[in-house]
Amino acid sequence: MIIKNLNALGIFGDASLNSVETAVITTDGVDVREYVANATFMYPEELFSAIRAILNKRFVRYDDLETDPQIAQLKKDISAFYAQIIAQIADEYAVDIVGIDGLTVKNDAENQCSYQLEDGHLLEQMLNRKIITHFHKADLLSGGQAAPLIPSFLSALSATAEKPALFIDIENITSLTYIGETGELVAFDAAPGTAFLDDWTFRHAHMQTDYNGKLGITGQIQSSIVQTMLRHKVLLRTPPKSLDMTCFFDKREHLEGLSLEDGTATATCFIAEAIYQAGLDFLPCIPANIYLCGEGSKNPTLVRFVKQAFLPREVKHIQNLNRHISCIGAQSTAYNAVRRLFSLPLTYPSTTGVHQPITGGEIYDIR
């Protein structure tokens, strides 16, 4: 197969509970030649409500998800929403391939279940375009944790950066990617992310998130509650590990009884402290070069708390390294789609615990 530069569109549904990220890049799956465009699309209110309803249900097995009529309808509706977005973007930028990493409603590597809300076959039929989805499955079936999927992209992005370097990617779940002096990768899902915070603000104020961190900055942090939540069993588990965004919801009860502002401040502090604790416990070291990215980097209060946790080291935004980085989840999904097309690895023993470096993603192309 001839490896060449392609225009790839990435759709990333796991940035937050209320929106989907998109990005177009030009890449050969090794280097990124151009960052073309990016945008964020809010879910329609009815679709957002349906997603919220699903998160309140308990699914034990993969088969439970596959046979649930509510899930089946939601997959169709989300895929139709994705199709509208793709149709709007793809022709304008002469897109060659579309990669989709949909919203993860359950991730349980122990029971070999990683379930994303997307239907690649339906999307290929609707759009008559080459679609790659289900990037998690091959890793999961090969003994891996199915996440995180961003390290290959971060490795390419940081090719000229000073090493060692640490990347903190705060999405629904927070992952850490450590790149050593010779390029070695260590990565794992490390801590709660925006989903934990968004769940609090939505249930108590019907706000989809803490916009601009205004609630968190005005509230009082309840340090004793933060310390209690930091003893969560999944935070103490040694990597490799991947996390389900709902796995921290059992700690919600500790926030009940607090004011909206105090609960938001405490939840935000919990996220920041859990990130720092994971780095301290499980990385080879916490390097001087630390970069923050993802949806959570848009919340100035969360950014402030993360920076405070890592003092005296300086935490910079990833755009200090590359000003074109925005919607990093979508950009990495586009990059991974091209890597899959050219059979290049996405995951490694040191990032997901998979037995050997492997590629991943199912290709839908009936043309």
Give the pLDDT confidence of 107-116 residue by residue, as tens digits. 888 888 888 9
Residues 166 and 307 in one domain: yes
Place of tokens 């989903």: 195
Instruction: Report yes or no on 1 lying in a domain.
Output: no
| 325 φ/ψ angles, rounded to the nearest 5 degrees | -80, 120
Residue 33's pLDDT is what?
96
Per-residue pLDDT band for 3 (boundaries 50, 70, 90) equals confident
- In tens, the pLDDT along 107-160 reads 888 888 888 999 999 999 999 999 999 999 999 999 999 999 999 999 999 998
- Are the CB atoms for 146 and 134 separated by under 8 Å? no
Do 78 and 204 reside in the same domain of the chain?
Answer: no
| pLDDT band at residue 337 using 50, 70 and 90 as cut-offs | very high
Bridge partners, residue 24, by sequence: 9, 37
Half-sphere exposure (CA, 13 Å, Cβ side) for 307?
Answer: 13
- 301 lies in some domain: yes
Residue 78 lies in a domain: yes
Distances (CA, A) of 155 to 125, 149, 184, 293, 322: 34, 12, 9, 14, 13
176-186: per-residue pLDDT in tens? 999 999 999 99
Asked if residue 154 belongs to a domain, the reply is no
- Coil vs helix vs strand at 25: strand
Query: Which residue range forms the structural domain that includes residue 177?
Result: 162-320
- The Cβ of residue 73 has, within 10 Å, a number of other Cβ atoms equal to 11
Measured from the Cβ of residue 324, the count of other Cβ atoms closer than 10 Å reads 14
- Mean pLDDT score of the chain, rounded to an integer? 94
Residues 316 and 350 in one domain: no
Note whether 316 and 329 are same-domain residues.
no
User: Do 115 and 100 fall within a single domain?
Assistant: yes
Question: Which of 324, 287, 283, 320 lies closest to 303, judged by CA?
Answer: 320
Q: Model confidence over 250-302: pLDDT tens digits?
A: 889 999 999 999 999 999 999 999 999 999 999 999 999 999 999 999 999 99
What lies within 8 Å, CB to CB, of 345 at 6+ separation is: 152, 339, 357, 358, 359
Residue 222 and residue 196 share a domain: yes
Q: Flag whether pLDDT at 367 surpasses 70.
A: no
- Look up residue 10 and give its two tokens: 């990435």
Q: What are phi and psi of 105, to 5 degrees?
A: -95, -20
CATH assignment at residue 100: 3.30.420.40
Give the pTM.
0.96
> Which residues sit opposite 108 in a β-bridge?
113
Residue 16 shares a structural domain with residue 38: yes
The answer to whether the beta carbons of residues 333 and 11 sit under 8 Å apart is: yes
Q: What are phi and psi of 191, to 5 degrees?
A: -165, 170
How many structural domains comprise the chain? Answer: 2
Contacts of 282 (CB under 8 A, 6+ apart): 176, 188, 190, 238, 239
Contact 100, 11 (CB under 8 A): yes
pLDDT score of 341: 96
Position 277 in a domain: yes
Q: Is 56 inside a domain boundary?
A: yes
3-class secondary structure, 89: helix
Residue 153 lies in a domain: no
Pairing of strands 131-133, 362-364: antiparallel
Confidence band, pLDDT 50/70/90 cuts, at residue 18: confident
Residue 253: inside a domain, yes or no?
A: yes
